[in-house]
Amino acid sequence: MAEAAVKEVSKQSAKISVFGMDCPDCAAKVEKAVRRMPGVISATVAFPAGRLSVEYNPERIAVHDVVAKVKELGYQAGDYQEEKRGLTTTEFSMAGMDCAECAACLEAQLPPLAGVETAPVCCGSGIQERNVREEPASFWETNQYVRPTMISFTMLVLGFLARYGLGLPETVVNGLFLAGVLMGGYLMAKNGLSVLINTREFDMNMLMTIAVIGASIIGEFEEAAVVVFLFSLGNALQGYTLDKTRNSIRELMEITPAQALVRRGNEEVMLPVEEILVGDVIIVRPGERIAMDGRVSAGYSTVNQAPITGESIPVEKKPGDAVFAGTINGHGSLEIEVTRKARDNTISRIIHMVEEAQAQRAPSQHFIDRFAKHYTPVVILAAALVATVPPLALGQPFVKWFYQAMALLLVACPCALVLSTPVSIVSAIGSAARNGVLFKGGVHLEEAGSLAVVAFDKTGTLTEGKPRVTDIIPRGDHSEQEVLALAAAIEKRSEHPLGVAIVEYAREQGVDVPAASDFEAVPGKGVRAIIGEKQYRIGSPRFYMEQAVDIAQVEEDLGRLQGEGKTVMLLGDDKSILGVIALADVLRDNSRESVKSLKESGIRRVVMLTGDNENTARTIASQAGMDDFRAELLPEDKVAVVKELLAEYGKVAMVGDGINDAPAMALSTVGIAMGTAGTDTALETADIALMADDLSKLSFAVRLSRKTIGIIKQNIVLALLIKGIIFLMVIPGWLTLWLAVIADTGSSLLVTLNGMRLLREKSETRPAAVTG
């Protein structure tokens, strides 16, 4: 038992940022080389995020050894985070530290205690783990091919100038070209040799080096110099575009302020967000960004939540409402009680989930990876045959076919093909996140693009999830205003959802509500109260029938309203009915439009599943434009319906709240949860999470998924077509070294840029619902 505990503590992990990986093949070679290191337990490279995750035994190897290996392979290694297992971080709030010197003194005293490894102390906040915001590395630091490109270009220009401008001897001209090859190609050769030694595999750098050496041997110095320049330029441009793709989601982190104004006792102090604790109260002035997740404790304002939910219109906030870090305060001042630490806030969790999703392989990528695994050896074999068969078997000139073989080597790395899927997936997931939609992986992105059926839960998904007054029918000489005023007076102290809805509607209509006294609630039936000197009551029809009050005069209205799926309440006194009030869980403003948009995007059938009665379900389904509905369903019945739809249509999405509909969502092809901002459970359980209560985001997600699949197919066809043309050019001997380089790096750039088009995708905006 003790031995197992020691092993657990000695096992550590780290995440290392790696720059310069141009394609998944590069990432695979880094992964393989690190795994072979003594002391490394496991290593995984997430190419889309440019991150190496490694588990290692600290008694045999240190994390800086892994960083050194990455650099040896020719890549830049940035900041890394170590995660030690078997350690517990505890945080204390402390009082009585008057200055930084007190904090430093305490910090020095704690580590000698048994079991305490580190104890950083922040004056005014306590002992805590500090998160340091990473500064983005510069383009010059991360893109290692920029300098070789400039050097090779300079020497190439000088060579052309010497030959065609000054007419210098060939020895001088070739010397300039050779200097460009050596200085511009040194990094390429060094990286290729390192990968070959560490993985026993040829990468693009090594193949390019062999081709350049071969061209130089047969005296083609000019072409060798052109190849080195074009290869370096292509890699520099490709690295730049890939970094733009990788950083698209990280830009969200920059919107969160680094510090906030905090009220501690009777003082207001500006503190770094890392020092702010749960329970602290931060003060946000008009126009400022909110620094922490929390709940409004004082003040009224509107908040622009677009960075989190994608909503285009600011949302009203009052005491008790949740707010998120990175959102923008409007016209009012707010005091916010912090509910999450900086490292755990909603936007940090979104970024973490998106980066994890981007690192997952989509189904189409698995096929491409299998194809690419055999592609390079086959092309290298083909190059060897091109160099030997024509001269030996057909008596052709060796130099010509050796040149063709060197050119063929330049297309032996399937970079464009293996890039065709991940760059599109990364761009689409990043674009979706900025529009308030979280895909939990490439597999769900692809599945959403092939859906045939979308099944909706009713309550809180298609509808607002709370009752609203829909009809007021006065009787006798009473007006709608009078009926509403009396009903609101009786229900003013009620906590029943129907009563709350009546009071809220009266407030919205600006109705003067009279005072009432002697409230009496009759459970399950209604409420009585005295207004003026007269008793009034509001409740169900049964409430009046039991009191022998004649309701025949309103039976026609009752039947019609109940047939529409509405809940009907009667207002009256001891003798007669004064009015009829109908309430219903009303359809969201954009539900019908969103359902129509889903059908236009290619969804064959849209179905509503609900536990409500048949009449209510039929009414809502008709209003929303559903193709079908199923009513009076228990959770297990919804599962059965989803099974039935899967059997008939193949691909089915279930849209719900992520909690009550969890069984049906788990069974469906894709489970989609709505309104998940700040909701941990829904964020974790759903395959796709819509951060706002906005169904238009669902049709955006489906359209984006279908477009992503289309672009992936375009990329695959483009990559294979260019490779095919290159191979065909070998037969008549038309292939040149520079043309092969342009074809290889150019196709990689084309598929990257084509995939990056998805970054510009935006959802159709609509006015956001103003919530309290």
Q: Which of 457, 557, 657, 694 is catalytic?
A: 457
Q: What is the 3-state secondary structure (H, E, C) of 244-255?
A: HHHHHHHHHHHH
* Dihedral pair phi/psi, residue 532, rounded to 5°: 70, -115
Distance between CA atoms of residues 124 and 508, nearest Å: 45
Distance between CA atoms of residues 645 and 640, nearest Å: 9
CA end-to-end distance (rounded Å), the chain: 55
- 65 tagged catalytic: no
* Dihedral pair phi/psi, residue 303, rounded to 5°: -130, 130
Distance between CA atoms of residues 134 and 6, nearest Å: 33
Count of CB atoms situated within 10 Å of the CB of 193: 14
- Classified as helix, coil or strand, 351 is helix
Element (DSSP H or E) covering residue 141: helix 139-142
Q: Which two tokens stand for residue 364?
A: 């189409």
Distance between CA atoms of residues 48 and 357, nearest Å: 10
| Amino acid at position 344, single letter | D
Torsion of CA 245, 247, 249, 250, to 10 degrees: 170
Q: Which residue has the tokens 């909706």?
A: 456
- Going 67 to 70 to 74 to 77, the CA torsion angle's sign is negative
Contacts of 81 (CB under 8 A, 6+ apart): 14, 15
Nearest-5° Cα angle at 717, 716 to 718 = 90
C-beta of residue 431 within 8 angstroms of C-beta of residue 755? no
| Amino acid at position 136, single letter | P
Distance between CA atoms of residues 427 and 759, nearest Å: 5
| Beta-bridge partners for 194 | none
Distance between CA atoms of residues 252 and 573, nearest Å: 59
What is the number of H-type helices and E-type strands within the chain?
27, 28
Q: Tell me which residues are annotated as active site.
A: 457
